[in-house]
Amino acid sequence: MKLLLQTLCICLALGLVTPHHGGEHLQADDPAPPDAPVAIDRCDGMEMDAVALDMDGIPYFFKDGWFFKGFHGKAQMAKDSYLELKDHQHLGHVDAAFRLHQPDHPEHDHMFVFLDDKVFVYENHTLEPGYPKDIKEVFPGIPDHLDAAVECTEEDCKADLIIFFKGDDIYHFNVKDKTVDEKEFSSMPNCTSAFHWLGHYYCFHGHQFSKFDPMTGEVHGKYPKDARSYFMRCPKFADDADHAERERCSHVHLDAATSDDAGNVYAFRSHHFLYMEGEKMHSDTIESAFKELHSEVDAVFSYEGHMHMIKDNEVFVYKIGEPHTHLEGYPKSLKEEFGLDGPVDAAFICQDHHIAHVIKGQTLYEVDMKATPRVPIKDGPFTLFKYVDAAMCGPDGVKIIVGNHFYHFESLMVMMTAKHVPEQKRVSTELFGCDH
């Protein structure tokens, strides 16, 4: 961890990026110039220097002179984003970073970045006046050359704390009174970066991670685990990996989801899919079960024993069974099948109905599956969400999946007339029963 990170990018705002079907909503990768150095690949396995959230809650993973946006996408050169740090190249790489999320604090939703003995504070693209400052000035009692840092909320830590890591030493820094309480986390490995995500606290060490209690450092459950399986969208995994457990508990967003006439749930993510038969969960590659698709679908829905799978501007149809059978004559163009131009974001059809509901941007279309030809009818704006990753309809209503969360509507009518989004629920824990 001794190379230069010249800059920090916190410029990806959730509402300003393109939804993932048009270019990945956690990813905005510009082509590298011809003379650019070879980018590092997070799927090779590496020890990240720091992990932090931007002001919109999007995670950034930092390594040497590069950073990764979100859970997938290529590395981007850090020096191309913020120019202010160029004057401090001698300080080296980023040691630690965190976002301060305290609405009453004057630096609420600012990014704190630590390099050697300095701390930089950013609001969006702009370095705050007066920074960088010495760490000891802003955080008295906290040492230089940190390994990791993470914010801990009052709800979890009984006070608003920043937890700093340096080797075996752990420091609980009280944000309000600036006192320091040194801790001993004997059951936890030394963290090279730390991360607060979806109510849990994670320590990254090498390309592995452990979930820990922020007050005691205790690690419960089967840890460590491979970060590439849960926090990154990597196509290849070890042969002895628990693929079903990985797909259930991954924090990478789903591409599509549906349930068949028998109530079996299918969820698609990148090169893999998860399917649940009764209470039993299985996982496989898309290539093995739907070889014509290869990988990555935009939307899937089930109708009369067939699975309709939309990828870019094409529609693939499979008869559900063991194995799934690709229908002759497919793929067909999305325009020919549904009268729409791709890509689309999600599609679903409710049981015993023949109307397919297609979400494209912030517009909802209805397509009568029994009509010939099928003509999309614009059902109006769908502005409850800035974007949608997946959607599915079952006997208990409609689930709209956005990022790591889903929103449950008791019926299609309730969804169509809703003025506000329902309670946010987590995909991994509340949809698939994972423990994190």
Neighbours of 368 (CB within 10 A): 13
Taking the CA atoms of 427, 429, 433 and 436 in sequence, report the sign of the dihedral they define.
Answer: positive
Mean pLDDT of 59-63: 88
Tokens standing for 290? 């739907």
pLDDT number for residue 158: 92
Dump pLDDT digits (tens) for 29-42: 445 444 556 678 88
Band (pLDDT 50/70/90 cuts) for residue 192 is very high
How far, CA to CA in Å, does 155 sit from each of 143, 152, 237?
26, 8, 36
Match 């999320």 to its residue by tokens. Answer: 101
**Nearby residues of 58 by Cβ (< 8 Å), 6 or more positions away:** 12, 14, 26, 69, 70
The pLDDT mean for the chain works out to 84
Q: How far is residue 185's CA from residue 183's CA, in Å, rounded to a whole number? A: 6
Asked whether residue 27 carries a pLDDT value surpassing 70, the answer given is no
CATH 2.110.10.10 fits 253-431, yes or no: yes
Q: Peptide bond preceding 343: is omega within 30 degrees of 0, i.e. cis?
A: yes
Same topology between domain 20-230 and domain 253-431: yes
What SS3 string covers the chain?
A: CCCCCCCCCCCCCCCCCCCHHHHCCCCCCCCCCCCCCCCCCHHHCCCCCEEEECCCCCEEEEECCEEEECCCCCCEEHHHCCCHHHHHHHHCCCCEEEEECCCCCCCCCEEEEEECCEEEEEECCEECCCCCEEHHHHCCCCCCCCCEEEEECHHHHCCCEEEEEECCEEEEEECCCCCEEEECCCCCCCCCEEEEECCEEEEEECCEEEEECCCCCCECCCCCEEHHHHCCCCCCCCCCCCHHHHHHHCCCCCCEEEECCCCCEEEEECCEEEEEECCEEEEEEHHHHCCCCCCCCCEEEEECCEEEEEECCEEEEEECCCCCEECCCCCEEHHHHHCCCCCCCEEECCCCCCEEEEEECCEEEEEECCCCCCCCEEEEECCCCCCCCEEEEECCEEEEEECCEEEEECCHHHHHHCCCCCCEEEHHHHHCCCCC
When pLDDT is averaged across residues 167-189 and rounded to a whole number, the result is 93
Residue 44: the pLDDT is 82
Q: Judge whether residue 230 has pLDDT over 60.
A: yes
Q: Do residues 96 and 114 touch, judged by C-beta distance below 8 A?
A: yes
State if pTM tops 0.75. no
Pairwise CA distance, residues 211 & 224, whole Å: 8
Per-residue pLDDT tens over the stretch 64-84? 878 888 887 788 766 665 455
Alpha-carbon gap, residue 3 to 20, rounded angstroms? 32
Residue 431's contacts (CB-CB under 8 Å, 6 or more residues apart) are 399, 406, 425
Rounded percentage of the chain residues whose pLDDT exceeds 90: 52
Chain centre distance of CA 348: 22
Of the two residues 261 and 202, the one the predictor is more confident about is 202
> CA-CA distances (angstroms) from residue 57 to 51, 100, 110, 331?
12, 11, 11, 38
pLDDT-based confidence at 87, cuts 50/70/90? low
pLDDT, residue 344, reads 96
* pLDDT for 263: 76
Q: Does residue 285 carry a pLDDT above 50?
A: yes
Q: What's the pLDDT score for residue 240?
A: 55
Buried b (16+ CB within 10 A) or exposed e, 123-162: eeeebbeebbeebeebbeebeeebbbbbbbeeebbebbbb
- pLDDT tens-digit map of 289-302: 998 988 889 999 99
The residues spanned by each domain of the chain are 20-230, 253-431
Architecture category of domain 20-230 in CATH: 4 Propeller (2.110)
Tokens of 263: 């109530």
Average pLDDT in the 197-215 region? 91
